[in-house]
Amino acid sequence: MAETEERYQRYMDAIRRRVCSVCLDQRDDGACGLTGRTCAIEAHLPQIVEAVIAIKSDRMEDYVAAIQAQVCSRCASAAGPHCELRDRAECSLDAYLSLVIDAVEELRESSG
């Protein structure tokens, strides 16, 4: 189990370098500024990583479909295809999906 946690931690670290550094919710000191809820990327990290590494495509639509099927469909903020946070542009996963994919792909390629 520790190996799995360490693996996901490496992905979270890569995502933080790519996403958190440009996130609009970042505080002046660099810490996450979200209050009252957890970042969607952190909340669903294992599902996000598994969805992204299962896809090998040049088409963003393929990644979006995988994320919607494996992550959004299980998220408490979504009611079917409708997502309140995404509709209000408050879902970090939706807003920064391309950067998340880049971070996961980069780590996957460097790992083997």
User: Who contacts 2 (Cβ-Cβ below 8 Å, separation ≥6)?
Assistant: none
The mean pLDDT value of the chain amounts to 89
Q: What percent of the chain has pLDDT over 90?
A: 53
pLDDT tens figures, 26-41: 888 888 888 888 899 9
pLDDT tens figures, 47-81: 999 999 999 999 999 999 999 999 988 887 766 66
Residue 79 corresponds to which tokens in the numbers above? 């009611």
Mean local confidence (pLDDT), 23-28: 90
Residue recorded with tokens 């460097």: 110
Distance CA 80, CA 37 (A): 21
Residue 65 corresponds to which tokens in the numbers above? 């479909």
* Alpha-helix runs per DSSP H in 1-112: 2-15, 40-43, 45-53, 60-70, 84-87, 92-95, 97-111
Residue recorded with tokens 């590494």: 53
| Predicted local confidence at residue 81, as pLDDT | 67
Do 42 and 16 touch, CB atoms closer than 8 A? no
Q: Where are the domains of the chain?
A: 2-111
Task: Evaluate if pTM is beyond 0.95.
Answer: no
